[in-house]
């Protein structure tokens, strides 16, 4: 059965209601299951990031954010989709949107640290895995990259 849901994707400027909803989703999906909370360091890092959220029927159901590492490279981070909207292409739409945003801003490479277990999602989006696993936020990750058109 095709579960695809077409979502609206918006920028979520720091301090906006959309940003607050996206932060809540990140906390729920990415930190609580690890026994963590969004740290002060992450909130500081957020001030240097471009945040996007996926909205379905007025509800934030996905989020991702981008930080320039240098003039050509963007770091994609904080990728999370609400449990009830998984496998409905919400994550793919967010990544595609982030890549278009990056390419149109002149960036050439997207980098992400994929949780081991979620790397298959990035490989499906055309990312390549590089190097060995490393620990971040207490769990193993692998670096994945993709050239932006």
Ligand X SMILES: CC(C)(COP(=O)(O)OP(=O)(O)OC[C@H]1O[C@@H](n2cnc3c(N)ncnc32)[C@H](O)[C@@H]1OP(=O)(O)O)[C@@H](O)C(=O)NCCC(=O)NCCS
**Residues forming the site for ligand X (CB under 6 A):** 29-30, 79-81, 86-92, 114-115, 117-118, 120-121, 124
* Smaller CB separation from ligand X, 71 or 127: 127
CB of 115 to ligand X, least distance (A): 4
CB of 135 to ligand X, least distance (A): 13
* Smaller CB separation from ligand X, 15 or 78: 78
Q: What is the DSSP letter of 74?
A: E
- Sign of dihedral through CA atoms 84, 48, 46, 127? positive
* Smaller CB separation from ligand X, 16 or 56: 56
Phi, psi of 121 (to 5 degrees): -60, -45
* Smaller CB separation from ligand X, 2 or 71: 2
Contacts of 144 (CB under 8 A, 6+ apart): 111, 112, 113, 114, 119, 122, 123, 127, 128, 129, 130
Q: CA–CA separation, 88 vs 140, rounded Å?
A: 25
CB of 56 to ligand X, least distance (A): 11
CB of 111 to ligand X, least distance (A): 12
């Amino acid at each position: 059965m095709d579960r695809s849901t077409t979502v609206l994707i918006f920028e979520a400027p720091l301090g906006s209601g959309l940003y607050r909803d996206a932060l809540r989703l990140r906390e729920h999906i990415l930190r609580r299951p690890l026994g963590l909370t969004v740290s002060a360091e992450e909130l500081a890092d957020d001030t240097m990031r471009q945040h996007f959220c996926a909205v379905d029927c007025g509800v934030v159901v996905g989020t991702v954010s981008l930080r320039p590492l240098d003039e050509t490279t963007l770091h994609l981070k904080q990728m999370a989709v609400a449990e009830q909207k998984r496998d409905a292409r919400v994550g793919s739409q967010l990544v595609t949107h982030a890549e278009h945003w990056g390419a149109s801003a002149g960036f050439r490479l997207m980098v992400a640290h994929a949780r081991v277990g979620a790397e298959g999602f990035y490989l499906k989006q055309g990312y390549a895995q590089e190097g060995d696993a490393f620990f971040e936020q207490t769990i193993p990750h692998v670096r994945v990259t993709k050239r932006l058109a």
